[in-house]
Amino acid sequence: MVIALVVGFVMPKSFLPERNQGDFTLALELPAGTPLEQTKETAVAISELLVSMDEVATVYAQVGETERTLAALKEYTAANTVRIRVLLHPSRGNRRRTEAVRDSLKQNLTSLSGATYVFRDEGIGLGEILASNEASFTLGIIAEKPEDALVVAEELLPRLREVEGLTDVGMDRVLGNPTVEITLNREKALRYGLEPDRLARELRARIQGVVATTFNEVEQRIDIAVRLSREQSSDLVTVLSSPVMVAPGKTVPLGIFVDQSEGRPVREVVRNNQRRQITITADVRGRSLGRIWKAVNGILDEMDLPAGVAFMTGGEQEEINQSFRDLGWALLLSALLVNRSSQFSRNPS
């Protein structure tokens, strides 16, 4: 009896058992501007490493942008992104074997300079059926100015990754990759006697080419374009240094008529009470959620926040808070009903 009590006391316990079917996805994002060819080489190297492991049964890799479907909108895809689905051989020790495969991958992924990655378990278990669609840990950053929320999120992200028990910490991809924005200088173009529309066509022709003729088949019409080589058209310096005729026998570089700036297009806008919100999510493993939030709240208290920035909890913590609020209302209602019932029993007339 004593031995049974000791074993029952030290045995790991949880409300719902951990579910792991030996099926997970690696979401890898290389630095912005990485060409598709280099992304493919990285995906092939990681896939070959996975295939060489005895625990791995099947590997699927997806490189670059996906189709513009409703499901694809939930994940950010670009020329520098990789999605690798990994299925292990069926076994009773799937959790332990999955962690071993992930640890082996992490050793190789850390050598990729500037790359970020997260792991996600696949499959459906009882916990996923009963829980909401949110991650176990969800922290919302709300700000009047969207750039303030982004600065706070980027400062907070590496600190949260150091919190014991938080794994696969990630942030909403609210901004796309950096882009070069070209603006025509209309005044300078007019001083040279050039129409801005002509300059726009010249710039487009150097990048996309000019349709010279068409090839007609029975049910298809194919444009035949004349353009610069791929190396020249993808090099902005070469494109802008190409000559434009401004007078008979006189040319100037195209670049003198344009202004360059760097922009980051907004991919997704999330609002909470008319204010921009960025969400940080993570999985919880090996530590209670209460202790994790205690450590996170300590980090939040130490941060020097811009004016108008606030935090909002979510995930399982918000579900716990909501449950306690519902329980409080239920206790209050039951107390009122019991009090009313006791008054009625004392005064039946």
Domain 14-176+269-323 matches domain 179-263 at the CATH topology level: no
The CATH number of 179-263 is 3.30.2090.10
Q: Estimate the crossing angle of helix 36-51 against helix 94-109, to 10 degrees.
A: 140
d(CA 334, CA 328): 10
Percent helix, strand and coil across the chain, each rounded to 5?
40, 25, 30
Q: Which two tokens stand for residue 240?
A: 């802008």
DSSP label at residue 79: T
- The pLDDT value recorded for residue 308 is 83
Topology of domain 14-176+269-323, CATH: Alpha-Beta Plaits (3.30.70)
- The pLDDT value recorded for residue 247 is 82
pLDDT in tens, 284-343: 877 887 888 889 889 988 888 888 888 887 655 555 556 666 777 778 888 777 776 666
How many Cβ atoms sit within 10 Å of the Cβ of residue 325? 10
- Listed in sequence order, the residues at least 6 apart from 221 whose beta carbon sits closer than 8 Å to its beta carbon are 214, 215
Q: Among all chains, which residue has been given the structure tokens 């000019």? A: 210
- The pLDDT value recorded for residue 70 is 45
- The pLDDT value recorded for residue 12 is 56
- Listed in sequence order, the residues at least 6 apart from 294 whose beta carbon sits closer than 8 Å to its beta carbon are none
In the chain, domain spans: 14-176+269-323, 179-263
d(CA 198, CA 204): 10
d(CA 280, CA 166): 12
d(CA 177, CA 34): 10
Ranges under pLDDT 70 in the chain:
1-2, 4-20, 66-76, 123-135, 172-177, 264-274, 314-325, 340-349
d(CA 211, CA 219): 19
Q: Which two tokens stand for residue 289?
A: 């959620």
Question: Do the Cβ atoms of 290 and 315 come closer than 8 Å?
Answer: no
End-to-end C-alpha distance for the chain, whole angstroms: 58
Phi, psi of 247 (to 5 degrees): -160, 160
